[in-house]
Each structure stands twice: as structure tokens, then as C-alpha cells.
Amino acid sequence: MDAPVIHDNALGAFLRDRRCRLDAAAFGLPMMRRRTPGLRREEVAQRANVSVTWYTWLEQGRGGAPSADVLDRIARALMLTDVEREHLFLLGLGRLPEVRYQESDGVSPRLQRVLDALEFSPAIIKTATWDIIAWNPAATVILADYGRLAPRDRNVLRMMFCNPAVRARQLDWESVARFVVATFRADAVRAGAAANVEALVDELSHASPEFVAMWREKEVGHHGEGTKLLRHPTFGLMSLEFSAFAVDGRPDLSMVIYNPATPAVAVEVRRLIEAARP
């Protein structure tokens, strides 16, 4: 007796389409007696280490829901891209797969041009481990001269807990530091980078008793939007509104944009940025 249908055939249609796009010759498979392009079902099943009958049922929209492990194996068998793998999980399980963290040390020229187009709005791009990897000229003038720092020192947590100058610029350092630690913890886990930050956490634990206390509280937070009060060396106390945005297709990156919170600050920010131009 046939297995009962438990979902529509969108998943099966997607699997068939991707299977038929593959080049059998590229896998060293014989090309004779193939009536249709792509791989056969039994070939995909073998590559994914599942039974041919079960895989056939999956393409036909029958049988039980696949596990995440099986979908991962099918994704590899079909040579799916990251976007296609996400789509496969949404069709098969109704959720995204677990995040695979990818370390990044830069951004594309196009993304840098987006930053630079924000002429009077300081903006940065940070990783899930809170390394600042890109910024615009306005950020250099208003926030910090990141270009003068070594790449490892551009980490927000190192700056917050180990750089006295950065600490002094915060109006309420303890509140800002707690926000940073809580949001950092959530970002790292969300991006699948919990293991990647262990060395940084260990380093900061030895460098700062205050970090140890805040980290042990196990608070989690969300960057979102808010207001930052900053002591600027020229202007004095400066109020900036910030908003954080995800970079599409890059769960490891986020963009944070700062805007003057009052007309008076806006005038001064513009003056400072214009004065710093060559």
C-alpha cells in the first residue's frame, strides 16, 4: 500500500528540477541509455546514502517528513548552493537549516560604496563576532579612526574593555558595555559562531574582571535601534540615533548606521565631516 501524502509536491518538484540540472558526465557516470537529462533517482539516493524507494517517495510527495540530516545529505548530493539549501529546508521542514558560520575579513566593493554614499551618517559593518571590517569616512570622523587600528583591535569588545580611550568616550560605560556583551552573545549564537568566539571570551576574561562579571550574567540582547551618547573630542557630548540592518545573504554581517539625534548635532556632524575632507 502506498504511503500517505503528508505535504504538497513543491518539495518533489524542486528536487526533480535540481536533479535534472546536474551533468551526469561530471560525476563520471555512464551517459548511455539516459532518456532524460541529469542524474537518475537511484544515483542521487546513492550519493545521499538513502534508499531509492524513500527518495522516490520524497520526489513524489509521499512518505514521512525528512530529517535535517537527510536533507543536508540530499543538498550535498545535488550540489545545492546555500540559498537552494535554505529553500530545501523550508520546503521539507518549514524552517531554515542551522547556520554555517563563515569568517569574513572584508566586504564587496559594492557594499563599501553603499557605506560611502552615506555622506553625513557614520556607518560600519561588523561580523557576528563583532569585528568591524568596513566603515565610511563619516565613521572615521565621528566614531573612531578604525584605519589606524590593527585589524584585531577593531573588535568592539576589545575596544570596549581594553581601550581606555574608547571607554572614556562613553557617557555611561557600564550600561553600554552590558548592552555590547548581551548583544554579542546573541549574535554569535544566531550566526553559528559560538565556538569561534571562545578564544576572544577567554582573552577578555583574563584582561577584564568587569567582562567576566557581565559574561557570567548570560544576558542576551538585540542590536535593533536606539540612541548612543558619545563624548566627541571636538564637539563634546554628542547624541546619535542608530539602526542595525542585516546584510542579505550574509547572516554573519550587519550594518549599523548612526544619524544625528538633534538638528544642532546634525549641523556639527556635517561641519566636522566637511572639515576633515582633503
User: Does 76 score more than 80 pLDDT?
Assistant: yes
Query: Do the strands 250-260 and 236-247 form a parallel or antiparallel pair, or are they unpaired?
Result: antiparallel
The span from the CA of 101 to the CA of 127, in Å, is 10
Collect all residues with Cβ–Cβ distance below 8 Å to 4 and sequence separation of at least 6: 62
pLDDT mean over 204-222: 93
User: Does 3 score more than 70 pLDDT?
Assistant: no
The span from the CA of 32 to the CA of 93, in Å, is 36
The per-residue pLDDT for 102 is 67
pLDDT mean over 24-49: 83
Collect all residues with Cβ–Cβ distance below 8 Å to 178 and sequence separation of at least 6: 214, 217, 219
How far is CA 36 from its chain centroid? 39
pTM: 0.72
Residue whose grid cell is 573588535: 155
The per-residue pLDDT for 256 is 96
Alpha helices by DSSP H, 6-155: 10-21, 41-48, 52-59, 68-77, 82-93, 109-117, 137-142
Question: Which is more confidently placed, 12 or 27?
Answer: 12
The per-residue pLDDT for 234 is 85
Q: In the CATH hierarchy, which fold is given to the domain comprising 109-276?
A: Beta-Lactamase (3.30.450)
134-160: pLDDT as tens digits: 999 999 999 999 999 999 999 999 999
The per-residue pLDDT for 248 is 78
- CATH numeric code, 10-93: 1.10.260.40
Counting beta carbons within 10 angstroms of the beta carbon of residue 249, is it exposed (0 to 12), middle (13 to 18) or buried (19 or more)? exposed
Per domain, the residue ranges of the chain are 10-93, 109-276
Residue whose grid cell is 575632507: 277
User: Does 258 score more than 60 pLDDT?
Assistant: yes
pLDDT mean over 174-199: 89
pLDDT mean over 77-84: 88
The per-residue pLDDT for 6 is 40
Instruction: Give the number of residues written for the chain.
Output: 278
Q: For the chain, what is the mean pLDDT?
A: 88
